[in-house]
């Protein structure tokens, strides 16, 4: 069993939640928790708060297994029915089809998926998760600034189901299909699981603070909308039981409303998390705010979901390989020193020690030689990452250079640094001004005005133009 410390972090707009613990024979054992309002916090403030939590937990963050839980409202979920049962074929089909169904272009989002059903017809039902790259990189940067290497990013919905899977059936009971509703401070998340595996999830922005303001009817309408969407995805079985995770007395009120509408058993207990808390630990307000966070650490053998960018994974691999290389070199140096002293200790054993030394030196050299190609690959990756072109930088620079009466209708980046722009201007003179501004900025070269034409728009006559250029900014 892996006894490595685990730290699970969820950063929302107004709340930072974190849990630290270890895997024990009875399951995940929570050793410390942290719930902090971050309303008005900058990213630097959040980083400082994380550092304080790491220090309070007395665990070195760089040695812990760090998981980030993404709030459900930050993630786009789509369902695909694909004609294959082979995992690799399904992955390729998802990569080809998913960008037709989500509001992101390729390269603007991180994609991962779970296979939720393989049908006898040869088709597979796939649940695809997409999160904007900018969101992921922000969370990654916050954790790196706090000294933590993130190994996994998952979604709160999976944390909810993983938490349920750890509760014995003798405690909670069993149901083939069940719906878990968790009320956070300012949002509600609904997750439907079948055989303790997630098959559907949705969140909406009505939480405990809103229900205290007599918005129960609006909350019930959103619940009904969620289950309409669930039925529209052609899930045949409606949940046979609801589990409500909320504070008192809201859980009782919600329990009665759900029973009246859906005519299924509704469990409203919030005590099940206590079995995972270290004896004597004081955790005020632990439930429901930390259920999905704790659940992310209880994943066990369930399917993995990881929304970390490839660049971040390579950076982590880079660090691990460098440490491995250093350990081998240190081992070789220590071995050489030990062999040197041994050779001078006893003359009778000199030849035997020399033979041992030569053998170990050869083994060490083979290891070092084997690492050289990997070091070259890592250096190539470093050069690639340092010289990569970031779309946000291009848009920011173009926004600064664009004249007031001129707008762009299309931007295309080709072959890494070639940029094609189309736009229109109320004043023809501003087209030339824009071309000149591109040249003078120092960040664009080979600026060419391909054409400029007159066109009629709703607001009158305008000049339509196309400009091509090359991004010439130095490496970061």
Which string of DSSP letters, residue by residue, matches 125-159?
A: EEEEEEEEHHHHHHHHHHHHHTT--EEEEEEHHHH
CA distances from 183 to 72, 244, 257 (A): 13, 8, 15
Q: Is residue 146 part of a domain?
A: yes
Q: Is residue 416 part of a domain?
A: yes
Cα separation, 373 vs 360, in Å, equals 21
Question: At which of 338, 369, 386 does a domain end?
Answer: 386
Shared domain for 171 and 157, answered yes or no, is yes
Q: Is residue 1 part of a domain?
A: no
CATH number, domain containing residue 29: 3.30.420.380
Q: Is residue 476 part of a domain?
A: no
Q: Is residue 434 part of a domain?
A: yes
Q: Is residue 370 part of a domain?
A: yes
Can you give the pLDDT at residue 381? 66
Can you give the pLDDT at residue 281? 45
Q: How far is CA 152 from the centre of its chain?
A: 7
CATH number, domain containing residue 406: 3.30.1360.100
**Contact between 245 and 183 (Cβ < 8 Å):** yes
Shared domain for 45 and 186, answered yes or no, is yes
**Contact between 307 and 154 (Cβ < 8 Å):** yes
Can you give the pLDDT at residue 345? 62
Torsion of CA 390, 393, 398, 401, to 10 degrees: -150
Shared domain for 292 and 353, answered yes or no, is no
Number of structural domains the chain divides into: 3
Shared domain for 264 and 374, answered yes or no, is no
Cα separation, 272 vs 443, in Å, equals 58
CA distances from 82 to 17, 98, 193, 198 (A): 37, 11, 21, 18
Can you give the pLDDT at residue 132? 92
Helix 250-262, helix 216-232: angle, nearest 10: 50
Q: Is residue 373 part of a domain?
A: yes
**Contact between 2 and 63 (Cβ < 8 Å):** no
**H-helix or E-strand spanning residue 389:** none
Shared domain for 456 and 335, answered yes or no, is no
Shared domain for 284 and 323, answered yes or no, is no
Helix and strand numbers (H, E) in the chain are 13, 17
Shared domain for 216 and 337, answered yes or no, is no
Shared domain for 268 and 161, answered yes or no, is yes
Question: At which of 261, 296, 331 does a domain end?
Answer: 296
Shared domain for 234 and 339, answered yes or no, is no
Beta-bridge partner residues of 66: 7, 150
Question: At which of 386, 405, 432 does a domain end?
Answer: 386
Q: Is residue 303 part of a domain?
A: no
Shared domain for 352 and 436, answered yes or no, is no
Question: What value, to the nearest 5°, has the Cα angle with vertex 357 and ends 352 and 358?
Answer: 100
Shared domain for 166 and 227, answered yes or no, is yes
Domain that holds residue 354: 310-386
Shared domain for 380 and 318, answered yes or no, is yes
The tens place of each residue's pLDDT in the chain, 476 residues long, gives: 456 778 888 898 888 988 887 766 666 677 788 888 898 999 999 999 999 998 888 777 667 788 888 888 899 999 999 999 999 999 999 999 999 999 999 889 999 998 988 889 999 999 999 999 999 989 989 988 988 888 888 888 887 777 776 666 655 666 678 888 888 888 889 988 887 788 889 999 888 888 766 678 899 999 999 999 888 877 668 888 888 887 777 777 888 889 889 988 888 755 555 545 544 444 444 445 566 666 665 555 445 677 877 655 555 556 556 666 677 878 778 887 776 776 666 666 777 778 888 888 888 888 888 888 877 777 776 666 555 556 777 888 888 899 988 889 898 888 767 889 999 998 888 999 998 999 888 888 889 999 999 888 887 888 999 999 988 765 54
Can you give the pLDDT at residue 1? 43
Total Cβ atoms within 10 A of residue 134 = 11
Cα separation, 333 vs 293, in Å, equals 44
């Amino acid at each position: 069993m892996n006894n490595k410390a685990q730290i699970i972090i969820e950063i929302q707009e107004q709340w930072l939640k974190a849990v630290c613990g270890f895997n024990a024979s009875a399951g995940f054992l929570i050793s410390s928790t942290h719930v902090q309002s971050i309303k008005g916090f900058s990213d630097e403030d959040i980083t400082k708060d994380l550092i304080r939590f790491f220090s309070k937990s007395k665990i070195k963050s760089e040695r812990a297994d760090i998981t980030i839980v993404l709030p459900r409202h930050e993630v786009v979920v789509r369902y695909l029915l694909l004609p294959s049962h082979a995992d690799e074929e399904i992955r390729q089909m998802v990569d080809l089809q998913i960008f037709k169904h989500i509001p992101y272009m390729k390269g603007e989002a991180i994609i991962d998926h779970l296979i939720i059903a393989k049908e006898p017809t040869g088709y597979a039902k796939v649940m695809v998760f997409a999160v904007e790259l900018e969101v992921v990189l922000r969370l990654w940067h916050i954790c790196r600034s706090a000294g933590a290497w993130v190994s996994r990013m998952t979604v709160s919905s999976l944390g909810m189901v993983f938490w349920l899977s750890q509760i014995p059936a003798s405690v909670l009971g069993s149901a083939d299909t069940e719906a878990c509703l968790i009320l956070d401070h300012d949002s509600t998340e609904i997750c439907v699981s079948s055989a303790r595996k997630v098959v559907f999830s949705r969140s909406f922005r009505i939480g405990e603070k809103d229900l205290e303001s007599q918005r129960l009817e609006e909350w019930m309408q959103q619940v009904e909308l969620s289950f309409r969407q669930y039925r529209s995805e052609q899930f045949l079985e409606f949940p046979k039981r609801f589990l409500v995770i909320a504070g008192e007395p809201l859980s009782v009120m919600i329990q009665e409303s759900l029973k009246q509408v859906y005519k299924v058993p509704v469990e409203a207990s919030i005590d099940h998390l206590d079995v995972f808390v270290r004896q004597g630990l004081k955790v005020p307000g632990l439930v429901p705010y930390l259920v999905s966070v704790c659940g992310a650490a209880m994943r066990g053998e369930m399917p993995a979901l990881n929304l970390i960018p490839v660049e971040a994974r390579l950076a982590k691999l880079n660090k691990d390989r460098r440490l491995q290389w250093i350990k081998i070199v240190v081992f070789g140096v220590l071995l050489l020193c030990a062999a040197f002293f041994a050779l001078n200790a006893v003359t009778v054993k000199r030849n035997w020690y020399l033979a041992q030394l030569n053998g170990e030196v050869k083994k060490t050299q083979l290891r070092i030689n084997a690492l050289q190609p990997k070091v070259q690959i890592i250096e190539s990756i470093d050069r690639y990452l340092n010289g990569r072109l970031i779309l946000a930088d291009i848009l920011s620079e173009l926004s600064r250079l664009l004249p007031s009466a001129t707008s762009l209708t299309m931007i295309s980046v080709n072959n890494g640094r070639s940029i094609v722009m189309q736009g229109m201007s109320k004043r023809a003179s501003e087209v030339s001004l824009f071309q000149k501004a591109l040249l003078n900025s120092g960040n664009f070269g080979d600026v060419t005005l391909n054409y400029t034409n007159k066109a009629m728009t709703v607001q009158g006559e305008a000049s339509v133009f196309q400009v091509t250029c090359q991004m010439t900014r130095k490496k970061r």
